[in-house]
Amino acid sequence: MGFRVVIPTAGLGSRLGGLTKYLNKSLVSIAHRPTICHLIEQFPEDSEFVIALGYKGNLVRDFLELAYPNRIFYFADVEPFEGEGSGLGYSLLCCEEYLQQPFIFLSCDTLVTQKIPPPDHNWMGYAELDDLFSYRTLAVQHGRVRGIHEKGDAGAEELKAYIGLAGIKDYASFWAMMREGGHATIEQGEAYGLRGILTAQPLSAYEFEWFDTGSPTGLAATREAYRTVDEPNILEKENEAIWFVNGQVIKFSDDIRFVANRVERAKNLVGFVPDVRAVKPHMYSYNKVPGRVLSEAVTLPLFREFLAHCKTFWKNADLNLSQQSEFKGICKKFYFNKTKERVELFYKNFSKEDSAELINGEEMPTLASLFRRVDWDSLTQGLPGQFHGDFHFENIIWNAGAKKFMFLDWRQDFGGDLDVGDIYYDLAKLLHGLIVSHELIANEAFTVSWESNQIQFDLHRKQALVECEQYFSAWCSENGFSYHKVRLLTALIYLNIAALHHYPYSLLLYALGKRMLKQELENSNENY
């Protein structure tokens, strides 16, 4: 027999800092799944959920409808969800109409490992903690709750940390108490109503192993505990996320145009990318593609097969003179303007400035002087055609059983154009991933230091990727592509993305990009 579970998600989640700038706290990832997935899947399949929506509540609703189309949800809009009049108690009162039956209260930052009892009796959950200062506490004797204490109210008793998990059988008494509590209800939340039940009868007390995901420290510990050995290597971004739920991949972006363009481009790339199955303004989903990312599966013979497949993908576009001029302008903005903007952002983000320094003992001029030596007119003479746009091994799946490649996380546009991009950019992204493997970065298999005017870095590489890089160089020449141009664009890619990644990986990207740019400019006998 199913029961209902109320999960309040209306709050700002301010303790998690930048992680909740673009997302509700219940959508922050743990093991590449939103926290709320782990909450929901603690309960039987026939459970029903009441979700209090406030801060970025539209994202919570959209995600749950995409991820769990066969589950039953009731959504209660909470307004205000911040400022005067807001609070956990008010959020619960907004859910009252859906909770006229026994139910479970579950804080949206509470994960437990044990089976959760049904609400066929009144109970509260607790955990054994050494430091109780930050938590509401329970006085527990012989498996019963004898008192509920506010934060900081230690008293003389031996207290237990209340974990924001409770079963409420006597819902009528609970709601009567909540409605009468006024400001105290708003401030104390479910604890106020539970106190009302406690005055008439004791509550059972259950001990749990508890993970508190609501603070940076607690979230980090939870992520480590839930980590799996085979999880994908995905570099976390504040305004984007990729989640794996129930055989689906759900992609989130704060930019609705990003999502709309990504979905539109999928129609042009049928057969090469997964079929999009559902769309929301900030999210889309597709069935998880079977296979392994190419970074794990790659061998030199497989890489040769992959490049043969790519030749069927990179279809040249026939542009007239006007379109060619427009495309060159897009390439210039994409390579020249954006790179300069991103480099300035890097200097700002990491308190650096353009200077002449030593990189791994090699004398470097300023980056500005290197940019002046680039033949931007030739470099921005791109090769227009069908493109992916973020073409590296983590975005390519190899299904050995079906002998099939599938491309993931395709770029939403190329300088605003959904149909035509620069094939050279795909080639450069491929080389960038051959040199800098996401897997090795995720495992911190690199070193970098920047002291005064000296930068030292070292980067581990897989032998298979080194062999593939060597083959790729020859393949480009044999197929009429300028490898020199590919390497120049690869250097610009490193400089471009340095501002977007975490320290000290950001320093490695900058140093690698600058040194590679200098080396290619010195090796500029080839016309590109």
User: Token match 């609705």: residue?
Assistant: 256
Alpha-carbon span 254 to 281, nearest angstrom: 9
Alpha-carbon span 87 to 81, nearest angstrom: 7
Class of domain 291-522: alpha beta
Buried b (16+ CB within 10 A) or exposed e, 192-225: bbbbbbbeeeebebbebebbbbbeeebbeebeee
CA 157 to chain CA centroid, nearest Å: 43
pTM given for the model:
0.87
Tell which CATH architecture fits domain 4-226.
Alpha-Beta Complex (3.90)
Alpha-carbon span 275 to 394, nearest angstrom: 19
The rounded average pLDDT for each run of 10 residues, N- to C-terminus, in the chain (528 residues) is 92 90 96 96 95 98 97 97 93 98 97 95 94 88 93 71 97 96 94 94 94 93 88 76 95 97 96 96 97 93 98 96 96 96 97 96 97 96 96 95 96 95 98 90 91 94 94 97 97 96 94 97 67
Question: CA 109, 111, 113: angle at the middle one, nearest 5?
Answer: 175
Q: What share of the chain is helix, strand, coil (3-state, %, to 5)?
A: 40, 25, 35
- The neighbouring-strand residues paired with 4 are 48, 103
Alpha-carbon span 402 to 418, nearest angstrom: 29
List, in order, residues 6 or more apart from 494 with CB less than 8 Å away: 432, 436, 509, 510, 512, 513, 516
Please say whether the beta carbons of 266 and 275 come within 8 A: yes
As a residue count, the chain comes to 528
State which H helix or E strand residue 167 sits in. Answer: strand 159-168
Alpha-carbon span 461 to 465, nearest angstrom: 7
State which H helix or E strand residue 426 sits in. Answer: helix 423-435
CATH 3.90.550.10 residue ranges for the chain: 4-226
CATH 3.90.1200 residue ranges for the chain: 291-522
Please say whether the beta carbons of 36 and 110 come within 8 A: no
